[in-house]
Structure 1
């Protein structure tokens, strides 16, 4: 019995100890920066020098480094960016580096599951480039990643540790995106804009004549309207007092719903056609 009680006290002691939180040896950090119209995020851990010689010693030249500690550094973009004239598509990447005395290789890797690797698999390399490191006049004790030199169409992702900084310049597609937005805005409302406005007016009990005009424009601008669009058009036309056109639209909606096998729209259109004296 005494042995059992002793075992219980020991287990309880370990359980209590396991609840004590302690700081990680390498602190976690994240940063987010808008560059032009592109959101860039970095998630990484920050090891310290602790009196050690870093590059060429603790991290040997020519070896693959996960660019941080604990896990691979994550680089996330919501729009494509250009690095050294190459396009990196939107997504989440592991950021690997291969430090060298004169040049660093920087690799954006599609496998972001924290793999520790000795060689790169070519099909997982989204982009690779060579960057010349720069010497700093002082030591950076804690590994740091910053996004600086932020312009409307570019920025620099800088890796700083010990007396070394590795600047990785990237460009964003701000001008092309803005020009596309300008062209879209100056071209006037889209079919979707007219459709959404018309349905809102219908459901909100607003000016039904405006809703009718907007819906007709939306349908004229749509190459192949869906049965759900014809359904909304029929309701607007009926409410506007144009029963003949409403019946025509409802029949198109019914036909499309039958083809799609949508029982709800078949019933709704059938009920409306009966109500309007068309069946």
Structure 2
């Protein structure tokens, strides 16, 4: 019985140590890509985006760190979350009221932007692939990507009002992708 209690105590201690190490690693990862929330409000429409902001840190981003033609979690850590309290048109297509994960497929001239009904998941699975189930895609649009001379060190999502529409703008490295939306 005494031997069993010793094994049990050692097992509990090992589990506690593993959980502590995992917590420390997650905290370090989060500090390198801090969490950010941005919102857009106009009239009775409110949109919230929750995402993590990785930094360039001397790396070539699109086409290397974030490969062309592969699904990206559009940030770091957890998949980016997009929530709208009213139906909106994104690039002319209707996105219903709801909360979504936001995914993109970058390419050198255009990006595919995907709104998926599954949200709250970690952005990649254990194999390093995007943790997205395509069966839950609600809306997919293609948006032009613009390369600029200016470099954006940290990945940023911002909102801009443009005439009768607005844009959700994704900026990182030398790339700008402006996703138009309206009521």
Provide structure 2 residue ranges, at least 5 long, that are not aligned to the other structure: 1-12
- The aligned residue for residue 111 of structure 1 is 118
How many angstroms apart in 2 are the aligned matches of 1:118 and 1:137? 29
Q: Structure 1, residues 124-176: CA drift from partner, whole Å, max 9, x if none?
A: 1110000001122210000000001255x52100000000000000011xxxx
CA distance in 2, matches of 1:33, 1:155: 9
1:37, distance to aligned residue in structure 2 (A): 2.1
For residues 237-256 of structure 1, the aligned pairs below 5 Å read none
Q: Taking CA–CA contacts closer than 8 Å with sequence separation of 6 or more, which of the two structures ends up with the larger relative contact order?
A: 2
1:41 aligns with 2:52: no
- The counterpart of 1:139, out of the listed 151, 161, 166, is 151
Counterpart Cα distance in 2 of 1:24 and 1:157? 25
TM-score if structure 1 supplies the norm length?
Answer: 0.52
Instruction: Give the greater-gyration-radius structure (CA).
Output: 1
Between the aligned partners of 2:134 and 2:59, the Cα distance in structure 1 is 33
- Is the partner of 2:182 in helix, strand or coil? strand
Which residue pairs with 2:82 in the alignment? 75
Q: Give me the whole-angstrom Cα distance separating, in 2, the residues matched to 1:85 and 1:120.
A: 24
Number of equivalences: 160
* TM-score normalised by L of structure 2: 0.78
CA RMSD of aligned residues (A): 2.7
